[in-house]
A and B are shown apart, each in its own frame.
Chain A
Amino acid sequence: MAGSATSAIEVIGRGHPWLSLAPALCVIAVLFGGGLVLGLAGSLGMGRGGVSLDAWIAVLSEGRVWRSLGLSLWIAFASTALACLIGLGAALLLRRRFPGQGLARLLFQINLTIPHAVGALGILWLLSQSGFVSRLSAGAGLIDGPAGFPALTQDRFAIGIIAHYVWKEVPFIGLILLANMQSLGDDPESAARSLGASPFAAMRLVLLPLLMPALIRAGAIVFAFSFGAWEVPVLLGQSAPVALPVLAWQRFTDPDLATRPEAMAIAMLIALVAALLIRVAMVRR
């Protein structure tokens, strides 16, 4: 069994790397690249006669789009930063051996399988002004009614949205870091300790720099998702400004066909901004 598997890999590996990658690249190029090209064409008004930048000009000169972009950037940056910070802390705690470690790891990872829309509804039931926490507070006599509870969903600072992303992405970051630490092993830190470094210094000067590449990559995935996803802000966001993906969807489902190119332009803008920022993060490392 093992022998045949090895030989199969060897056969594939013998060709030029581009040749070996061709099947995977084809899927990406057709499904992903094709979508991007069609979206770009749509944003330029192609398919309905002629090419024009009207949609891009309209979108980029609209205050609402910029406010939405600002909100989406805030959501994505705050969610990514908090998820990375808490995920890193959790991973550092979970890598130690302690009784019940297996159970702790299981509990830590359990929400990875829960879909975002379900998680967002859970946040709504938990944190909204008529949610569970609010009802508990009312029962305890802390507030008079729903309006007395602070606005944590559909709120100006997108607290509900960020809370959902942090809840959902902390295990993701943690899991990647745990796997990364496993492959690094204890050796680098032990070496530093034997040379006289304190445990904290060993972690800060040896382990963290070694974990950085994985953390940045995982963070980039979280950033791209929380910047571009629609279902969470549509459930937990306020009516204005809406997150950029929600704005794109509103334009896409507008009965006026003239707004379709604008929807595509906003979608392209989302992809462009996310790609640029992630590129910058990767290069600066």
Chain B
Amino acid sequence: MKVHEYQAKELLAAAGANVPKHIVVKTPDEAAAAFDQLSNGGGVVVKAQVHAGGRGQGQLIGFSDKLGGVKFCTSKEKAKAVAEAMLTHHLKTKQTGPEGTKIQTLIVQADAEPAKEFYLGMVLDRSIGVPVMMASAEGGMDIEEVAAKHPEKILKVPVAPETGLLPFQARRLAYELGFVGDQAAKAEKIMLALSKVYRDKDASLAEINPLAITKSGDVVVLDAKFDFDDNALFRHKDIAALRDENEENPAEVRAGKANLNFIQLDGTIGCLVNGAGLAMATMDIINYHGKAHGVGPANFLDVGGSVTAEGAIEGFRIILSDPKVKGILVNVFGGIASCATIAEALVKAGKEVGFKVPVVVRLEGNEVEKARVILSQASADLPTLKTANDLTTAAKMVVELSK
């Protein structure tokens, strides 16, 4: 689960990191008022709070001037006007689609002009099974680009999950990054705070980019990005409460509430599958047989190992709420449960939802013959329902029917 920059910074501040003062605002007037509180005779930075990265280089769609999601403002009027523009235009960045994303929240941040920028990040290193802290003096840049071009410029320290980053590890990193004197101690404190939040709150990704030495010599967190382990939210009600459903795809939010794993894609064939691996593989086979005809998967949907009528009903409804969908492939491998039960669930779901597009069903497993009889008997009520006896036939059939 992702959170906003301001939420990440507040967690870091609570863990002892030095974070520039900010005020969260939702209207231009609040932005103007925040300017008065934070400008201190200079300026403030107005920053759009959206989950997508690349805000600084982004562009407000349909706005006449060049303006992205981050702007330094030297007057109250300017701060108000910038806030107004951001709150009324969608922001397009390299991480959003071409339609951009709506901005509903801003922060007004006290100016902390950077003299030098660093990168700090913490993520699980799957190859060794423990988190690592990564640090680089190439801050502010896209860290993946640094990793690809200059892997030697990224320092990595494995962190024991039992202890978190140890003070000596932070100290060594700070000196290796080139911090000196008091600034090294300040950087060390921020690293320890990052590790503390990561460990205490079960983050899956925690980044400070950039960590900055300001022109006045302070060391601060200028931007932060956290992603939390969904599987650990049960023990962090405070983190779960930070979820912003406005930032998520509405169909995905709806699926989540029904315990379905759903991800929206841009093709035209909906998929309803049991099991995540098989669901991915089903998308792949649609693409394999469909790409020559410009046909691809419209979604990933794993309804879980066992298929219930309730899960299938909600799954079909979510798939069919996408107007692009021209056909659906149902691919279910029945495990221990009888395929007949699954077929009955699908027929019940079909009658409940109504299939306005072709639906090709491929079932395999226990008592599949019985299941095929049930499906064929349902054809009077569900004329668009077709059955296929194997996966290749099913994929080709749904591609053909929805070309």
The answer to whether A and B come from one shared complex is no
